[in-house]
Amino acid sequence: MGDSGEGLIDQDSRIQERMEELERDRAKSQLREVRDPERVRALVLCNAGGLAALTPFTRFLIGRFAAFFGAGERRKAWFGPAFRLYYANVLKRAPEQRERIVASGYEIAGVLREAWQGFAEPQADIRALASKIACPVWIAWAKDDRILAWSRCKAAAEKFPLIFVALVNVPLSC
């Protein structure tokens, strides 16, 4: 595995499918109230949007992303080239993986639309749960994320009683 991160991404050709599945399930799992926080043994969060306040601007931005992916779901002709351009900025250092994702753009657009719509739901805000989780929490954050900067989530994340934070250089920049 080189410094570019390509080996990590290319090890599993189904990683994008799995990411989409996890994004779909993420919203559902965050909707569940933590009924027994003592049973949680460890938690890993990666650029968890639920740690940032949903401001009017954030809701607007989320709505634009949902609309963009909704256009792909409706198979708008312009979506393919726009999706390619979008992923050229999101997944910069893994060209083979990027091409696989771009090729599936119309097929995954609905899943991505649902995920982005879920980010705007009030239940997606998990800030109040942080202080209830007593287990170790490892947070990995893409330090160059232009949409969800660590600075917007740091205060909420620091409410976890036992956290480990890694600001990482990754090929993703959402």
Rounded to an integer, what distance in angstroms lies between the CA atom of residue 161 and that of residue 166? 16
Please report whether residue 174 resides in a domain: no
Please report whether residue 173 resides in a domain: no
Instruction: Give the domain extent around 41.
Output: 6-168
pLDDT, average across residues 74-91: 92
Rounded to an integer, what distance in angstroms lies between the CA atom of residue 158 and that of residue 174? 23
Please report whether residue 130 resides in a domain: yes
What dihedral do alpha carbons 61, 63, 69, 74 form, nearest 10°?
Answer: -150
What dihedral do alpha carbons 147, 64, 57, 117 form, nearest 10°?
Answer: -90
Q: What is the pLDDT of residues 110-158, one digit of tens each?
A: 999 999 999 888 888 889 888 888 889 999 888 888 778 889 899 999 9
Taking the model in full, what pTM does it have?
A: 0.69
Please report whether residue 1 resides in a domain: no
Please report whether residue 144 resides in a domain: yes
Rounded to an integer, what distance in angstroms lies between the CA atom of residue 89 and that of residue 27? 25
CATH number for the domain spanning 62: value is 3.40.50.1820
Q: What is the pLDDT of residues 5-47, one digit of tens each?
A: 444 444 444 445 555 565 556 555 544 545 566 677 888 888 8
pLDDT class for 3, splitting at 50, 70, 90? Answer: very low
pLDDT of residue 38: 67
User: In this model, does residue 164 exceed pLDDT 80?
Assistant: yes
Averaging pLDDT over each range in 61-75, 90-104, 111-125, 144-158, which range is the top one?
61-75
Rounded to an integer, what distance in angstroms lies between the CA atom of residue 71 and that of residue 87? 16
What's the structural domain count of the chain?
Answer: 1
